[in-house]
Amino acid sequence: MRNRLPSELMEKPLKHILVSMRPQQWIKNFFVFAALVFAGHLRIAHDVITTCFGFAFFCLVASSVYIFNDIIDLEKDKLHPAKSHRPLPSGAIAVSTAAGAAVILALVGLAGGFILKVEFGTILLLYVIINILYSLKLKETVILDVMTISAGFVLRVVGGAFLISVPTSEWLIICTVLLSLFLGFSKRRHELTILEAHANTHRAVLQHYSPYFLDQMIGIVTASTVMSYTLYTISEDTVLKFGTNHLIYTVPFVLYGIFRYLYLVHKKEEGGDPTRIALSDRPLLINLVLWIVTASLIIYGR
């Protein structure tokens, strides 16, 4: 009895570990469902259940990566106005405890992924390896740092396709790459703006960026994203697959979403956390819901 820890002492570490897992970021893992939706398999119960399990395992693995990255960036995050409040930089949780949690999450997620499907487990393993390289080195390499983040979104889409044994759409990959680059460069611009003179101290790669340089790249990927999605909706393969050319009517939602996000980045100085913006900005959230509903009705309403 003397060695037993009080329940309240156990609850706090668990609470801080949960916060460090960043469950609010799990929305990114919904890209795993992209192949399920756009392959027209949403009515197949087995594929839906399999993808849900895949989503859960991807969340565990992604959370392990978040914790590992927090450990690597511990000292730098202490200087960040927002990140300094996280459990690790604030000292609310020990590094050893966080490291142990990261290992357990990674092992459980990887094991589950391989049990679910070997190809999907391989995707998860590749995701972990790429993100470890990112945390240790790639995040300090200009342009390549954002492209590495983009690769994580592509792996989610490809992993989702493996789960239900369908070929990965080239259009889907192109749109995913461009959209993730748009979000990544917007995030760098926000960091550069909000941290100002301390930007280089928090993230060394920011010394290689400037607002003008980032605006040029954001402009390129913005136009490319809209054009790629538009071409996807009217492509012969898409029309043949869904039996309709009405998917073109979802393009205005994509346009508004990108324009609204640019407004938040440039006029409201937001963009540092795409997930938080997607869930907190009401016009953007409503637009996202309308796009999902409209696209679903067009794809499955036949």
- Residue-wise pLDDT for 112-163, tens only, equals 999 999 999 999 999 999 999 998 889 889 999 999 999 999 999 999 999 9
Residue 90 has pLDDT above 70, yes or no: yes
Alpha-carbon gap, residue 81 to 83, rounded angstroms: 6
268 inside domain: yes
pTM: 0.87
Same domain flag for 174 and 264: yes
Residue 205 has pLDDT above 70, yes or no: yes
3-state secondary structure 132-163: HHHHHCHHHCCCHHHHHHHHHHHHHHHHHHHH
113 inside domain: yes
Check if the beta carbon of residue 251 is closer than 8 Å to that of residue 229: yes
Q: 62 or 9, which is more confident?
A: 62
150 inside domain: yes
Same domain flag for 29 and 96: yes
Helices 170-195 and 144-163: crossing angle in degrees, nearest 10, is: 140
Same domain flag for 184 and 161: no
- pLDDT for position 255: 96
**How confident is residue 204, by pLDDT bands cut at 50, 70 and 90?**
confident
- pLDDT for position 271: 65
Amino acid letter, 162: F
**Among 168, 197, 212, where does a domain finish?**
168
Same domain flag for 185 and 285: yes
Same domain flag for 175 and 228: yes
What is the total count of domains within the chain?
Answer: 2
Choose the weakest-confidence range: 189-193, 212-216, 273-277. 273-277
51 inside domain: yes
- pLDDT for position 1: 40
Residue 15 has pLDDT above 90, yes or no: no
Same domain flag for 211 and 117: no
- pLDDT for position 132: 93
Calculate what percentage of the chain has a pLDDT beyond 70: 91
Q: For residue 14, what are the CA distances in angstroms to 11, 88, 93, 115, 266? A: 5, 13, 10, 27, 38
**How confident is residue 2, by pLDDT bands cut at 50, 70 and 90?**
very low
Calculate what percentage of the chain has a pLDDT beyond 90: 58
- pLDDT for position 7: 46
Choose the weakest-confidence range: 13-27, 81-95, 130-144. 81-95
**How confident is residue 201, by pLDDT bands cut at 50, 70 and 90?**
low
Query: Environment class of residue 232 by beta-carbon count within 10 Å: exposed (0-12), middle (13-18) or buried (19+)?
Result: buried
- pLDDT for position 270: 72
**How confident is residue 284, by pLDDT bands cut at 50, 70 and 90?**
very high
Residue 6 has pLDDT above 60, yes or no: no
State the average pLDDT over residues 93-114. Answer: 93
- pLDDT for position 9: 40
Q: 168 or 163, which is more confident?
A: 163
**How confident is residue 39, by pLDDT bands cut at 50, 70 and 90?**
confident
pLDDT in tens, 170-180: 898 999 999 99
Same domain flag for 137 and 235: no
- pLDDT for position 202: 62
242 inside domain: yes
Same domain flag for 215 and 228: yes
Domain enclosing residue 212, as ranges: 169-302
**Among 168, 191, 225, where does a domain finish?**
168
1 inside domain: no
